[in-house]
Amino acid sequence: MKNSRRTLIAAGALLTAVSLSGCSIADTLQNESSLEFESVTVMETDWNADAAWVPSDATDIRVHASFNGEIAILAATTPADLDPALCAEVERQSGPVYGEDWAPDAYSADEAWACGIWTVIPTDDGWFGWTPNDPDEQQASPATK
């Protein structure tokens, strides 16, 4: 009985900690998180990953990423074009690892933009990108040269 009570207390403490952090249990166990940022400035301050391709005026930034940021999808609202010093148009060769209800169907795109370790496609109101991408896409990006 003591072990059952301890297990229940430990499980309750874990659920409380997870709910207070804003992550779901599945996200915590899978080492993933979903984040939202109101601006690029906030994203750059509060997220431990690099997405230099995101235009500086972007808002409503949504991210689903591994905790270390090495696997991620990102959607941003902006009318701005991508920086040609960072991104080059390429034939899409990769696709996102994660899928979220806010993410477009990247597999329907034939063309994309290679932006370093990110591949990016246009959306109705901005851009959607994922990392990692294909090594050939990375090589085509001016950001890696």
Query: Based on the number of CB atoms within 10 Å of its own CB, is 17 exposed (0-12), middle (13-18) or buried (19 or more)?
Result: exposed
Confidence at residue 59, expressed as pLDDT on a 0 to 100 scale:
98
Give tens-digit pLDDT for 63-98. Answer: 999 988 899 999 999 999 999 999 999 999 999 999
One domain, residues 82 and 100: yes
One domain, residues 7 and 35: no
Structural domain of residue 5, as residue ranges? 1-30
One domain, residues 47 and 98: yes
One domain, residues 101 and 119: yes
Give tens-digit pLDDT for 13-68. Answer: 444 444 443 444 444 456 899 999 999 999 999 998 999 999 999 999 999 999 88
Confidence at residue 1, expressed as pLDDT on a 0 to 100 scale:
52
One domain, residues 124 and 77: yes
Distance of alpha carbon 109 from its chain centroid, rounded?
A: 18
One domain, residues 45 and 98: yes
Distance CA 22, CA 17 (A): 9
Give tens-digit pLDDT for 126-144. Answer: 999 999 999 999 999 999 8
One domain, residues 36 and 19: no
Is the separation of the CB atoms in 16 and 6 below 8 Å?
no
